[in-house]
Amino acid sequence: MSLADQACETQTGLKIVCEVCGTLSIKPIEPADAPDGASVHCRRCNAVRGTVADLRALARRSTDEFEF
């Protein structure tokens, strides 16, 4: 069985790695004051990586170790 035979899921939510430039950093925001629909931008190229709601969801399911 090859990788091409596997069904691929589309990643939803916050993009951990920027699809445009490949960086991990995001622009600083104040999530406590930001609405759920506010965009989270890449710090390097300013691409939209997701929303504040996606960032909050990632924080809620976080553990002590980072998983890709």
Domains of the chain: which residue ranges?
13-61
- Using a 10 angstrom Cβ sphere, with 0-12 exposed, 13-18 middle and 19 or more buried, the burial of residue 52 is buried
Query: What pLDDT is recorded for position 32?
Result: 81
Give the tens place of pLDDT for each residue, 2-61.
444 444 444 568 999 999 999 999 999 887 889 999 999 999 999 999 999 998 888 887
In DSSP notation, 33-51 reads: TS-TT-EEEBTTT--EEEE
Query: What pLDDT is recorded for position 39?
Result: 94
Query: What pLDDT is recorded for position 61?
Result: 79
